[in-house]
Amino acid sequence: MTWLYELHGVQEYWIIHPTDRWVMVYTLKDDGQYGLPRMFGMEEPLAVGLFPELNINWAFMQEA
């Protein structure tokens, strides 16, 4: 599926695993391909690469 996102120039996409509480972020490089994904935990807010002033606060996904 990644090749399709590259073909259409999707700048960034996220794979979110809410149960294990991690996020994998793929970012399109200048050569039109994705590099290695960056991995993040959901303990702290995460800035969106295309909109760095936009942060996703994962607190709404806390288990009760």
Give the model confidence (pLDDT) of 25-58 as tens digits. 999 999 999 999 999 999 999 999 999 999 999 9
Query: pTM to 2 decimals?
Result: 0.86
Distances (CA, A) of 2 to 22, 28, 29, 44, 56: 19, 10, 13, 27, 23
Structure confidence at residue 61 (pLDDT): 81
**52 in the Ramachandran plot: left (φ > 0), alpha (ψ -120 to 50) or beta?**
alpha
Give the model confidence (pLDDT) of 5-28 as tens digits. 999 999 999 999 999 999 999 999
64 pLDDT above the threshold of 70: no
Structure confidence at residue 63 (pLDDT): 63
Structure confidence at residue 58 (pLDDT): 93
Query: Which among 25, 52, 51, 50 has a CA at the least distance from the CA of 38?
Result: 25
